[in-house]
Amino acid sequence: NGAFLPQGINEYINDVQNFDSVGDILRNYAFKAKMLTRHAGTHPPGAVMTLWIATRFFTYSNMVKAFLIIFSAPFTLIPMYLLARQLHDNKIATYTLVMYLVTPNIVMYTATCMDAFFSLFLITSTYLFFYSVERKSAVLAVFTGLSLSLSMFMTFATTFLGVYFISLTTVTFWANRKDFTNHVAVLIISGGTFCLTYLSMYLAAEYNILKNLQMAMEVDSSGIGTGYESALRYFLVSGTNLFGFFSMLGITTTTLWLRELWNTNQNLLAKKNSIFLVAYVLTLVPMIFSTLYLTETERIWLFMAPFILIPAAKNLREYIDEKQSNWLLYIVVTILFVQTLAFEVFIDTIW
């Protein structure tokens, strides 16, 4: 009956009963934001709509939400593998998946947290953008825009990807001029598709994403503030964002990622995989210190796992090739497993 589930499982699912239809959700979500549970009030209507539809097919229960997350989250492995393989090769893609399966925040949040469900759409959007550039395909760019639209319908964290794609295109201008035109084309087509999608939704169903965003920001600031109340709070929030995100990705993964970042700095912008990492850092740093995300970045930023795991897997592969031994892979996986187990016991377990 779901009695074993954490208290937070009632987020989103309890809000289903506040709406009579899909049309009601689209038209009135922003206006009802302040009467919804906290997470639903600070997000777009995608999660509530998905659960509203699911409860019509099954039953109104917390288990419906839990099973939605449990069954959908593993599909994230597919776009993550394809992205890693496109940037590097099959072996690095395999290392990425192995590390992903024992990463602390992935394990802890992919059973009861809707951000795990959201990650499927955001990581797919990231893969589609790179694939569109690689194939120089306008059709794929349209699909990228549609995927981004769906992602934004689930979580406003999708704004990170928009900023990242702009940073990626800018970095490409300096690092790889021959691909710059392709990046610009995909950026314009996908961005145009995104805008047309939400314009169509407004005209057809009266869904106003800007109003929804405004109300979400009001709900969020009314609960935990803006982060700018004082200099101390600003640096505390920014530092917590940084520490929470990287600590929950795992000690070994973060170490490998920092090693790869250092190596990239030594040979800056030499290859497309370096551009992938450099653009991410240029996007991440302002985001961390912007206070757009005030707390729980280890959960909200689950979709950023590829940006850390793929460079970490690349660095791990190079070290293994240098030593001609797989022992480091086993050590990395073991430490990640132990850290995940410790976090589960001391953070998630109700004593």
For residue 16, CA distances in Å to 20, 37, 65 come to 8, 10, 11
Q: Name the DSSP letter for residue 166.
A: H
pLDDT averaged over every residue in the chain: 89
How high is the pLDDT of residue 181? 93
For residue 175, CA distances in Å to 127, 156, 180, 191, 279 come to 20, 30, 9, 23, 11
**Which residues have a Cβ under 8 Å from the Cβ of 244 and sit 6 or more positions away?**
295, 296, 297, 298
How high is the pLDDT of residue 268? 61
DSSP states of 45-76: THHHHHHHHHHHHS-SSHHHHHHHHHHHGGGG
Residue 88, token pair as written in the block: 């590097």
How high is the pLDDT of residue 231? 81
Number of H helices and E strands in the chain, helices first, is: 18, 0
How high is the pLDDT of residue 24? 94
How high is the pLDDT of residue 1? 43
End-to-end alpha carbon distance in the chain: 21
Residues 79 and 102: their CA atoms lie apart, in Å, by 18
10-residue block means of pLDDT along the chain (351 residues)? 57 89 94 90 93 89 85 94 95 96 90 88 97 95 98 95 96 87 96 97 94 90 72 82 90 94 73 81 89 80 95 94 89 95 79 50
